[in-house]
């Protein structure tokens, strides 16, 4: 077992009797390389949330049907597309694309940041809801700016289960921002840009600590498209780390 799998296996967890199928979800690490050390954007969840109250997390959430219908600029890099399809029961390029778009949409919904391009005008006929609001800012979500870096499945018999794909995007890819999203009554009550060392000092879910360490190692290794992606899941009561 690696240190990370031991950490995840030993984390205390409430197990409920019924087992749920994990929902597809996506999360975004916004990386800022403008300073001496890379920084990552993290949000503090509202203390009244039933799920991870008061924890610092990356923006993200479950995939929506509209994510499959939203048009986008660019395409996911080939290796990302292939790895998103790996170890899936019904793999498809559309599903990988929708997951990356979910990460962009959730980031906009929770932080007000729009990652994409303003070069093409406003996307026509966006799906209703959040994507319609995104498009009204005259910005196309850009899949070419996104990199798939990790995957993790919540263990069985947890109250909520997610099959989460973690993506990164460079802070310089931001094309717009809606103010007033973060606040005392919002899903995220605070937003901080921190170094990896500073992030580790925050109140983080265990999996978030592991993903920060994985992304830090990926950056040290050059962050190349050829690098494999770690996949964490539980097998017979212990976490395993696969590479996909």
Q: What is the pLDDT of residue 46?
A: 63
Gyration radius from the chain CA atoms: 17
Whether 75 contacts 100, CB under 8 Å? no
pLDDT tens-digit map of 16-67:
767 888 999 999 999 999 999 999 999 887 655 556 566 899 999 999 999 9
Q: What is the pLDDT of residue 49?
A: 56
By CB atoms closer than 10 A (0-12, 13-18, 19+), residue 77 is middle
What backbone torsions phi and psi does residue 55 show, to the nearest 5 degrees? -80, 150
H-only helix segments in 17-92: 78-85
Work out the average pLDDT over 62-83. Answer: 94
Whether 40 contacts 60, CB under 8 Å? no
Share of the chain above pLDDT 90, in %: 69
Mean pLDDT of the chain: 90
pLDDT tens-digit map of 106-124:
999 999 999 999 998 899 9
Whether 37 contacts 25, CB under 8 Å? no
What backbone torsions phi and psi does residue 137 show, to the nearest 5 degrees? -85, 0
Q: What is the pLDDT of residue 17?
A: 62
Indicate the SS3 state at residue 116. Answer: strand
Q: Tell me which of 165 and 6 has the higher pLDDT.
A: 165
What backbone torsions phi and psi does residue 241 show, to the nearest 5 degrees? -120, 110
Cα 3 from Cα 98, distance rounded (Å)? 32
Q: What is the pLDDT of residue 50?
A: 56
Can you give the pTM of this predicted structure?
Answer: 0.93
Q: The tokens of 189 are what?
A: 């009550």
Per-residue pLDDT band for 89 (boundaries 50, 70, 90) equals: confident
């Amino acid at each position: 077992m690696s240190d990370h799998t031991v950490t995840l296996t030993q984390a205390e967890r409430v197990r409920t009797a019924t087992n749920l199928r994990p929902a597809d979800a996506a999360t975004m690490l916004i990386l800022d390389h403008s300073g001496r050390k890379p920084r990552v954007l993290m949000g503090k969840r509202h203390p009244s949330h039933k799920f991870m109250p008061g924890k610092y997390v990356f923006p993200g959430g479950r995939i929506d049907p509209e994510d499959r219908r939203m048009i986008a600029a660019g395409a996911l890099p080939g290796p990302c597309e292939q790895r998103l399809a790996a170890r899936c029961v019904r793999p498809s390029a559309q599903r990988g694309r929708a997951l990356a778009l979910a990460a962009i949409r959730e980031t906009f919904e929770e932080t007000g940041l729009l990652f994409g391009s303003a070069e093409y005008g406003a996307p026509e006929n966006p799906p209703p809801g959040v994507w319609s609001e995104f498009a009204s800012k005259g910005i196309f979500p850009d899949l070419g700016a996104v990199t798939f870096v990790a995957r993790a499945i919540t263990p069985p018999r947890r109250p909520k289960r997610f099959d989460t794909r973690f993506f990164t995007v460079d802070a310089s890819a931001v094309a717009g921002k809606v103010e007033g999203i973060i606040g005392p009554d919002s899903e995220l009550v605070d937003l901080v840009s921190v170094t990896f060392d500073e992030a580790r000092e925050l109140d983080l879910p265990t999996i978030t600590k592991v993903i920060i360490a994985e992304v830090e190692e990926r950056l040290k290794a050059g962050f190349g498209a050829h690098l494999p992606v770690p996949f964490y899941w539980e097998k017979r009561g212990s976490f395993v780390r696969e590479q996909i």
